[in-house]
Chains A and B, each alone.
Chain A
Amino acid sequence: MVTEIVDRTEAIWTALANVPDPEIPVLSVVDLGIVRSVAPDRVVVTTTYTGCPASDVIERSIRIALDQAGFADATLERAISPAWTTDWITPEGRSKLQAYGIAPPARSSPRCPQCRSDDVLEVSRFGSTPCKSMWRCAACLEPFEQFKCH
């Protein structure tokens, strides 16, 4: 019985690890830290920014992934508390961002994801999505985005 519950919870986590974030598809919803809890019959997710336009798409993708993996009876709930923070992005998620060319969130200035220089300049605090800011590297002159610390 206990093994069944553990297996089922594990299987749900595995299914969710294959659901990509629609804006940054290299990240899964698990990497992003928005899956807050998984029980055999219940999945709780949160949103990044309140106005994130991807929220509905993400929830729909999660619902489809659960249904397809045989967990149609598991409920999907949305919670706003505790508020999401970029500290919840997993270490794997951070390396995936870096490899994708987006500097992961950092308390101080980011390093250029291309050449690793720390000689960087913030161009705008707001980028193509609410969660990113725009930067330029003074060493290799490439523009890049940073996932904002939030």
Chain B
Amino acid sequence: MATIAPVDARLDAREDYLLRLGDDALVLGQRLSELCGHGPILEIDISLANLALDLVGQATLLLGEAGAKEDQGGDRLAFHRDVLDFKNCLLVEQPNGDFAQTIARHLLYTTWQHMLLQRLQQSSDRFLVEFAHKAVKEVAYHRALAAEWTIRLGDGTGESARRMAEGLDWTWRFVPELFEVDESLHSAIERGIAPDPRSFEDEYRSVIAEVLAQAELAIPSDQRPILGGRRGHHTEHLGHLLAVMQFLPRTHGEVSW
């Protein structure tokens, strides 16, 4: 009987890191694209579709690079891996919920992503440096949009403030995972490929606190953190997202535009 090595053992730290960042972008891009045609107002609809487009573009670069060694295209990684092979953080796979929950999720992720990309520009890895220089400009817009809407909803009507607070409560438990350093990430940090997220956790928390203060919202109370996405242990939501996203290329293998 052939033994199949655990996924992590087959990946080196660099590939694993590329998959983590690539899957974050892909899954969040897919989530936001679910809102295309369903945004609360036309301008938001277009904004969220634009964010999704940037993220899918970033995923294309990252997954393309992750698959380059084994000559697997980025599409192959995006559409032909199963849920246990996905390395995205749990935050990005959470459902859109109402608009406030979508904005809460985006604020928490994009603030982290922006800080990460700023530091990734000093990576020892040439591809990641080039990628970070390009993506950081796009993500700066994402971050501004999420912060503006958090403030507008938090400092809006009683109902918008309540919904914004509920959205933050729902997503808050997924924040600690963004700063978790496991064995694989540790090795990427050692090699100078990845910045250590713990080095900007305090700054992250103070930036979020500042936005919430402007929004007149309380910082949610800490909950039991939920971890595991980086190692393929996902919430029930990811499988449903992948089913929709992967159905076509999996069912009709050779189909093309």
A-side interface residues toward B, CB under 8 Å?
47, 49-53, 80-84, 123-128, 130, 134, 150
Q: Can you name the residue of chain B whose Cβ is closest to the Cβ of A149?
A: B137
Q: Can you name the residue of chain A whose Cβ is closest to the Cβ of B53?
A: A51
Instruction: Give A128 to B135 CA distance when docked, in angstroms.
Output: 20
Instruction: Give A83 to B29 CA distance when docked, in angstroms.
Output: 21
Cβ contacts A to B, 7 pairs, < 8 Å: A50-B60, A51-B29, A80-B131, A81-B129, A84-B134, A123-B43, A130-B50
Which B residues are CB-close (under 8 A) to A84?
134
Which B residues are CB-close (under 8 A) to A51?
29, 53-58, 60, 138
Indicate if the CB atoms of B46 and A50 lie closer than 8 Å: no
- Interface flags for B42-72 (1: CB within 8 Å of A; 0: not) read 0100110011011111101100000000000
Which A residues are CB-close (under 8 A) to B145?
125-126
Indicate if the CB atoms of A81 and B144 lie closer than 8 Å: no
Q: Which of A50, A53, A150 contacts B61 (CB 8 A)?
A: A50
Which B residues are CB-close (under 8 A) to A125?
47, 141, 144-145
Which B residues are CB-close (under 8 A) to A52?
53, 57
Which A residues are CB-close (under 8 A) to B47?
124-126
A contact patch SS: loop
Which A residues are CB-close (under 8 A) to B43?
123-124, 126, 134
Q: How far is the CB of A112 from chain B (nearest CB, A)?
A: 19
Question: How many residue pairs between the two chains, A and B, have CB atoms under 8 Å in the bound complex?
Answer: 62
Q: How far is the CB of B165 from chain A (nearest CB, A)?
A: 25
Cβ of B125 under 8 Å from chain A = no
Q: Can you name the residue of chain B whose Cβ is closest to the Cβ of A131?
A: B50
Instruction: Give A82 to B129 CA distance when docked, in angstroms.
Output: 10
Indicate if the CB atoms of A82 and B133 lie closer than 8 Å: yes
Q: Which of B46, B130, B131, B144 contacts A127 (CB 8 A)?
A: B46
Q: Can you name the residue of chain B whose Cβ is closest to the Cβ of A130?
A: B50
Q: How far is the CB of A48 from chain B (nearest CB, A)?
A: 10
- Interface flags for B132-171 (1: CB within 8 Å of A; 0: not) read 0111011001001100000000000000000000000000
Instruction: Give A125 to B53 CA distance when docked, in angstroms.
Output: 15
Indicate if the CB atoms of A80 and B61 lie closer than 8 Å: yes
Which A residues are CB-close (under 8 A) to B58?
50-51
Which B residues are CB-close (under 8 A) to A80?
61, 130-131, 134
A80-B130, A81-B130, A130-B53 known; A49 vs B138 contact (CB < 8 Å): yes
Indicate if the CB atoms of A50 and B50 lie closer than 8 Å: no
Q: How far is the CB of A10 from chain B (nearest CB, A)?
A: 29
Q: How far is the CB of A51 from chain B (nearest CB, A)?
A: 2
Q: How far is the CB of B186 from chain A (nearest CB, A)?
A: 28
Indicate if the CB atoms of A150 and B131 lie closer than 8 Å: no
Indicate if the CB atoms of B138 and A50 lie closer than 8 Å: yes
Q: How far is the CB of B122 from chain A (nearest CB, A)?
A: 14
Instruction: Give A8 to B219 CA distance when docked, in angstroms.
Output: 63
Q: A49-B138, A130-B50 are in contact. List 9 more A-B contacts (CB 8 A).
A: A49-B57, A50-B58, A51-B55, A51-B56, A51-B60, A83-B134, A84-B134, A126-B47, A134-B43
Q: How far is the CB of B50 from chain A (nearest CB, A)?
A: 4
> Which residues B189-242 have CB closer than 8 A to chain A?
none
Q: Can you name the residue of chain B whose Cβ is closest to the Cβ of A56?
A: B257
- Interface flags for B27-52 (1: CB within 8 Å of A; 0: not) read 00100000000000001001100110
Q: How far is the CB of A11 from chain B (nearest CB, A)?
A: 30
Instruction: Give A125 to B44 CA distance when docked, in angstroms.
Output: 10
Instruction: Give A49 to B60 CA distance when docked, in angstroms.
Output: 12
Indicate if the CB atoms of A83 and B133 lie closer than 8 Å: yes
Q: How far is the CB of B228 from chain A (nearest CB, A)?
A: 28
Which A residues are CB-close (under 8 A) to B29?
51
Q: Can you name the residue of chain B whose Cβ is closest to the Cβ of A134?
A: B43
Instruction: Give A81 to B29 CA distance when docked, in angstroms.
Output: 23
Q: Which of A53, A83, A127 contacts B53 (CB 8 A)?
A: A53
